[in-house]
Structure 1
Amino acid sequence: MANTNVFVFGLNEFNRRKLENIRGSESITFHKLLDRSELTERMHYPIQEILDHARQRLRAFSGSVDGIIHYIDFPVSTIVPILAREFGLPSASLEAVLTCEHKYWARVEQAKVTPKSTPPFAAFDPFDDQALQRLEQEVGYPFWIKPVKSFSSYLGFRVDRPEDFHAGIRRIRAEISRFREPFDYLLDQVELPPDVAGVGGGHCIAEGIIDGHQVTLEGYGFNGNIHVYGAIDSKRHANRSTFGRYQYPSALPTRVLEGMEAITRRFLSHIGYDNMPFNVEFFWDAERDRIWLLEVNTRISESHCDLFEKVDGTSSHEVAVDLALGREPRFIKGDGAYPVAGKFFLRTYGDARVERIPDEAEIRRVERQVPGTTIQVQVEEGGRLSALMDQDSYSFCLALVFIGGRDEDDIVAKFHQVENALDFRLGQAA
């Protein structure tokens, strides 16, 4: 029987272990497609060069190219549809992916089919000195600003008064060029609708503030049907912007999750999203019993894969692999070792220099002491926190901690145990 070859953008050891643990992995060989350093945390994304390198790697391979998967945001999320089309592999269309990736385009289409879950929004040029006056009229305070192409909370700022807008715009103007040129190149590959055509990679979006209980639905499109297989709660810190942890499964009422699923199906069917995984972020305003659609990400969430493995017995990578091979996923629920799992962010606020991080022996010791725990340090000794790339606008992440447990209280207690046991030392930033 011929071996199946699946190429994985930026494959690292953490994700290789997840992939090799999915059902049927014994008949699949996973190949790294470009190094992660070529794809993430760069000040400049040479999109054509990245595409050419990936093409060369695939064409030089002596065996069959049977599938391409990814779990990385821009630019990989937009490259996969191009390569899949060229190599005759299953994937969502580039148009459908860009509709989700372009924050303004997504809002335009969402407003057509699910207006009650779409906040007021407007596009603007961050270099337009008169933009604030228009946004005050069209959106109104308070609002959130971010580039039309960004990820997580990078270059995202809450605006309660003009001073907040001007402070955020200064940083956006300094850094938005990271995405403008590569995103515009991708937008040139499709026909944009008239009401989006003038809004390119150098533009921003302002949105009315939406809030509440945040939850993410993981799912996929296959043969014209949209499916959801999991819901994960996002727990934030007091500033309401910074993530504290992701927790699976969601504790929201079933009727609320069903309402979110209905909105997901309506929007993704409207744009023709198919044959690819997704995760969709929502807020539920419990006081008003209102669901808000935040955004659609065109991939599995790397943050959630370990949570699915702990609770369901297999990573969401299995869904991505099945779809890449043209197979309908058969995701089995509740077959894992733990009823509840979480991904915690060990964070600090304010710039500092990293004087000490836990060594490998210390990390393994803490993992043994706290069962069901995996720790990933995110900083290096001697580094300055402000030099870290792609952090949120208000904090710095020192480590990621994946934890499985009996219930929410158990995983929170385990995190505090890990937090107290890890010896990070921070000094004054020079």
Structure 2
Amino acid sequence: MTTNVFVLGLDDQNREVLLSLPADRDYRFLQLLDLDEIGQHREVDMPGVLALAAGRLNSFEGTVDAVIGFWDFPVSSLVPLLCQERGLSCAPLEAVIRCEHKYWSRLEQRAVIPEAVPRFAEVGLDTTVKPEGLSYPVWIKPVKSFSSELAFRAVDDAGFRAAMDRIRAGAGRLGTSFQWVMDRLRLPPEVAGCGGTAALVEEEATGDQLTVEGYVRDGVPHVYGIVDSHRYPGTSSFLRYEYPSTVPEAAGERLTALSERVISRVGLDNVTFNIEYFHDPRSGDIRLLEINPRHSQSHARLFELVRGVSNHEICLRVALGQEPELERGGEHAVAAKWFLRRFRDGFVAAVPTEEDVARAEKTAPGTKVEIVARQGQRLSELPFQDSYSFELAHVFVGGRDGVECERRYRDCVAELPFTIWDDDGEDRSGRTR
């Protein structure tokens, strides 16, 4: 019997990963809304998007067996809003918002794992002075954002004021529609008071960044993997994700225990999750960065290359009320997702052709390329970028170890020509290979 799975924001890359799941399971994947209809790149019409998705489900003549999504807000909120009234397996909406509202999430984290939480404070958008009790350097970000959008590092008062100016201008794009969802909940006074468009200020955490992936079923959290997140030297921008993590076993056990405690506290259930941390290998210090009430689609191909099946399988099984399995038996010992970036704006005059991409993917087994930059646009027009760089392409590779992954990445990138013009008319693509 066919299992109808509706996917919010189903794109070509995720469809390809889903279709690579074990063939003995008769899934049919149906796009519920496309990415433009969801509108993450603009101010979201949350009531309109919800009504559009609900109408399509109601008009479907077959069974609706699951509704899933791999994206941040509004998809993360749409899933429980659509599932709850249909009796489908999903996380409680309040628990999702408790994770995604950065200030509320910090309050919950501090209540149960204070040793892993940096000092923080909530501030209104009209704030121009760093909160007392916090020391530079700090990070300032809206209480609702994603992909490091509008997240700024400040080392002095001038940097703090400049960051608040940028956040003040952009926080409403997501914050206004996020407030619409918050209004459906009974909120703690301190969270209701700051709303969906305030900002969070927190002291900088240091060390190696990594992500714990897991799921919750019947109130019991399970961790199934840890992924390392490497940054370009001297920046906060990601260079690559690498699986499995090289973190020492004892640190991995601590990360698992911290994750289980905080996930139980926030009330997530019947959902996948990922939690980002910093781990200082010298002191052993661990600091939690953020909780995401969904698995990471960026890691899907990494699990596929190493363990033989992507983490999308776990998301599916949980959404169908089944016990997940992440089968072992991939073709590679290590896998990595590399981010090819440029650290200044420019006009994209040309991107790799389909033939270029096909040639690049043939450089090593399992290699996959996703072009992010768009010909005829400025890089600053790309959605979902961090505050300091622009993505040109994603490159997935597998290998015997990290060294072979890096060599295969460089061989692949050598076959990906970009032409990017600076404002003075010079071609300075600025790629890191």
Q: TM-score, normalised by structure 1?
A: 0.96
Measure how far apart 1:121 and its partner are. 0.4
Does the alignment pair 1:175 with 2:170? yes
Task: Give, in whole Å, the separation in 2 of the partners of 1:172 and 1:34.
Answer: 29
Does the alignment pair 1:351 with 2:345? yes
Measure how far apart 1:43 and its partner are. 1.8
Q: How does 1:194-213 map to 2 (within 5 A)?
A: 194-213=189-208
Task: Give, in whole Å, the separation in 1 of the partners of 2:303 and 2:250.
Answer: 22
Task: Give, in whole Å, the separation in 1 of the partners of 2:52 and 2:24.
Answer: 26
Measure how far apart 1:390 and its partner are. 1.9
SS in 2 for 1:55: helix
Does the alignment pair 1:77 with 2:76? yes
Contact 2:229–2:242 under 8 Å retained in 1: yes
The one-character-per-residue Cα deviations of 1:238-275 (angstroms, maximum 9, x if unpaired) are 23410000000000001101101101110111122110
Contact 1:19–1:25 under 8 Å retained in 2: no
Q: How does 1:117-266 map to 2 (within 5 A)?
A: 117-129=116-128, 132-133=129-130, 135=131, 137-266=132-261
Match of 1:62 in 2: 61
SS in 2 for 1:279: strand
Does the alignment pair 1:373 with 2:367? yes
Match of 1:33 in 2: 32
SS in 1 for 2:414: helix
Amino acid at match of 2:137: P
Match of 1:9 in 2: 8
Amino acid at match of 1:328: E
The one-character-per-residue Cα deviations of 1:278-324 (angstroms, maximum 9, x if unpaired) are 01111111222111111111111110000000000001110011011
Task: Give, in whole Å, the separation in 1 of the partners of 2:374 and 2:396.
Answer: 20
Match of 2:406 in 1: 412
- My pick for the range that moved more, 372-381 or 243-252, is 372-381
Q: How does 1:382-397 map to 2 (within 5 A)?
A: 382-397=376-391
403 and 277 in structure 1: CA distance in 2 versus 1, 3 angstrom threshold: same
Contact 2:41–2:384 under 8 Å retained in 1: no
Task: Give, in whole Å, the separation in 2 of the partners of 1:368 and 1:21.
Answer: 19
The one-character-per-residue Cα deviations of 1:310-364 (angstroms, maximum 9, x if unpaired) are 000001110011011110112223x101110000000011111111111001110
Unaligned runs of 5+ in 1: none
The one-character-per-residue Cα deviations of 1:216-253 (angstroms, maximum 9, x if unpaired) are 01110001110011110000012341000000000000
Task: Give, in whole Å, the separation in 2 of the partners of 1:25 and 1:155.
Answer: 44
240 and 259 in structure 1: CA distance in 2 versus 1, 3 angstrom threshold: farther
Match of 2:428 in 1: none
Task: Give, in whole Å, the separation in 1 of the partners of 2:187 and 2:114.
Answer: 21
The one-character-per-residue Cα deviations of 1:118-156 (angstroms, maximum 9, x if unpaired) are 000000012234xx15x1x12221110000000121100
Contact 2:360–2:413 under 8 Å retained in 1: no
SS in 2 for 1:230: strand
SS in 1 for 2:358: helix
Measure how far apart 1:163 and its partner are. 1.4
41 and 429 in structure 1: CA distance in 2 versus 1, 3 angstrom threshold: farther
Contact 2:113–2:262 under 8 Å retained in 1: yes
Amino acid at match of 2:208: H
Measure how far apart 1:26 and its partner are. 3.9
Task: Give, in whole Å, the separation in 2 of the partners of 1:387 and 1:268.
Answer: 36
Contact 1:384–1:429 under 8 Å retained in 2: no
The one-character-per-residue Cα deviations of 1:379-407 (angstroms, maximum 9, x if unpaired) are 12221111112211111100010111111
Unaligned runs of 5+ in 2: 425-433
SS in 2 for 1:180: helix
Measure how far apart 1:41 and its partner are. 4.0
Task: Give, in whole Å, the separation in 1 of the partners of 2:326 and 2:94.
Answer: 27
Does the alignment pair 1:283 with 2:278? yes
Contact 1:346–1:399 under 8 Å retained in 2: yes
Match of 1:332 in 2: 327
- My pick for the range that moved more, 73-82 or 11-20, is 11-20
Task: Give, in whole Å, the separation in 2 of the partners of 1:20 and 1:370.
Answer: 22
Task: Give, in whole Å, the separation in 2 of the partners of 1:161 and 1:411.
Answer: 39
Contact 1:5–1:30 under 8 Å retained in 2: yes
362 and 270 in structure 1: CA distance in 2 versus 1, 3 angstrom threshold: same
Q: How does 1:297-308 map to 2 (within 5 A)?
A: 297-308=292-303
- My pick for the range that moved more, 20-29 or 283-292, is 20-29
SS in 2 for 1:5: strand
Task: Give, in whole Å, the separation in 1 of the partners of 2:415 and 2:141.
Answer: 37
Match of 2:354 in 1: 360
- RMSD of the alignment, in Å? 1.3
Measure how far apart 1:25 and its partner are. 5.8
Task: Give, in whole Å, the separation in 2 of the partners of 1:364 and 1:19.
Answer: 21
Amino acid at match of 2:19: E
SS in 2 for 1:112: helix
Q: Percent identity?
A: 42
Does the alignment pair 1:107 with 2:106? yes
Amino acid at match of 1:423: P
Measure how far apart 1:176 and its partner are. 1.0
The one-character-per-residue Cα deviations of 1:5-58 (angstroms, maximum 9, x if unpaired) are 110111122212211222366411111011112224422100111100010010
